[in-house]
Amino acid sequence: MNIKIKYFASLREKSQKSEDLLEINEKQNLSEIYELLRGKYHFPLTAKEIKFAVNNEYVEDEYLLKEHDVVAFIPPVAGG
């Protein structure tokens, strides 16, 4: 199954890209996908420290993805 991953803030900086196309197993949850990419790009944050959105809606880790979903990994943002 193919999905699009969007990166924001520090994750975008660390990966040096704003998005990825990824082929996944339909049984992988969002935390597993994030941890796979965390290993690839050396993201400092764990899956428990970020928010997940699918197709512009916040979702929980166990959300069941569908073909061509757009997943966003959103790190915490500090303002000032």
Backbone angles phi, psi at 32, to 5 degrees: -65, -40
Question: Using one digit for the tens of pLDDT, what is the confidence trace for 20-62?
Answer: 999 998 889 999 999 999 999 999 999 999 999 999 999 999 8
How many whole angstroms separate alpha carbon 11 and alpha carbon 8?
A: 6
Q: In DSSP terms, which residues pair with 39 in a beta bridge?
A: none
- CATH superfamily label, 2-74: Beta-grasp domain (3.10.20.30)
Q: Is the pLDDT of residue 77 over 80?
A: no
Bridge-based pairing state of the strands 70-74 and 2-7: parallel
Domain ranges of the chain: 2-74
Tokens at 68, concatenated: 């061509």
